[in-house]
Homo-oligomer: A and B are copies of this chain.
């Protein structure tokens, strides 16, 4: 097997391990067993276990960001955006992409310097979320800064992942998305009424 193949197999195994064994259970031996290769190769290719885990996060993050970027600009309404996001998030839940992140955030507490590197991986997401929120909140019926909205959405996704993981059930998390879509649709419809309200308040 070529070096590149082994690297890829280890990264894939690390993702699986974080998903199914958690950060605490993602030891070099466990990951190597999942990859079907020797434990020493982790240190040869990546230097240390945390370094491999970060590489795994970087790969997942980059590939999923591509998927989500496809959403941007294709919808002008809140409901449309939520709807599109739901589809991709359903994939994430099923494949455990977000869990890679939540496990690493939790685990970062026990490895000095790890938090900084995870934050670097998460930063593009924050920018993306902010752009997406800004595009849809620009003429929203309620004044909501894109910054706070984006922060809340990212937090919400992380939290939904944690709960889905705890319950071993994703349907409740997806139901929240469905509800958010309906809620967003009402906001979309309320735009004219809300601008009326704003004028009334501004004059008081």
Residues of chain A at the chain B interface (Cβ within 8 Å) = 19-25, 102-103, 105-110, 115, 118-119, 122, 142-145, 148-149, 151-152, 154-160, 162-163, 165-168, 172-173, 175-176, 178-180, 182-183, 186, 189-190, 193-194, 197
Contacts and interface: CB of A to CB of B under 8 A. Distances in A.
Given A22-B108, A145-B179, 10 more contacts: A24-B24, A24-B109, A108-B166, A148-B179, A155-B159, A156-B156, A158-B159, A159-B162, A162-B162, A190-B194
Copies of this chain, complex-wide, total 2
B105 A109 contact: no
A107 B106 contact: yes
Contacts of A143: 182
Nearest to A126: B163
Given A144-B183, A152-B156, A189-B197, A109 B176 contact: no
Contacts of A165: 105, 108-109
Main secondary structure of the interface of A (DSSP, over half): helix
Nearest to A198: B186
Given A151-B176, A154-B163, A176-B151, A106 B115 contact: no
A93 to B, nearest CB: 12
Given A22-B108, A103-B106, A142-B186, A179 B163 contact: no
Given A106-B107, A107-B106, A163 B156 contact: no
Contacts of A107: 22-24, 106
Nearest to A19: B109
Contact of A162 (B20, B155, B175): B155
